[in-house]
Amino acid sequence: GCTARNACDWTIRAGSMLWRTNVGNNVCSVGFTARNSANVRYVYTAGHCSSGAGVTWGTGTQAIGPMGGSINSGAVDGAVIRVTNPWFTGDAGGEIYQTLHVNGVAPTLSYLVAGETVCLSANYTNPTGPNYCGVIATTSDPAVRGMVKVNGLDACGGDSGGGWYWLSSSGSRIAYGIHSRSVTGCHVAGGTSWFSAVPTVKAALAP
pLDDT tens digits along 27-67: 999 999 999 999 999 999 999 999 999 999 999 999 999 99
pLDDT reported for residue 189? 87
E strand map for 142-202: 147-151, 163-167, 173-182, 192-197
Write the pLDDT tens digit of every residue in 89-148.
999 999 999 888 999 999 999 999 999 999 999 999 999 999 999 999 999 999 999 999
Indicate the Cα dihedral angle 41, 147, 29, 40, nearest 10°: 0
Q: Is 202 helix (H, G, I), strand (E, B) or coil?
A: helix
**Higher pLDDT, residue 73 or 184:** 73
pLDDT at 171 over 70: yes
Q: Is the per-residue pLDDT at 207 higher than 70?
A: no
* Residues 20, 91: Cα–Cα separation, whole Å: 22
pLDDT given for residue 98 in this prediction = 87
- pLDDT score, position 195: 98
pLDDT in tens, 2-22: 999 999 999 999 999 999 999
Is a pLDDT exceeding 80 seen at residue 157?
A: yes
Percent of the chain residues past pLDDT 70, beyond the cut: 100
Provide the whole-model pTM. 0.97
pLDDT of residue 99: 81
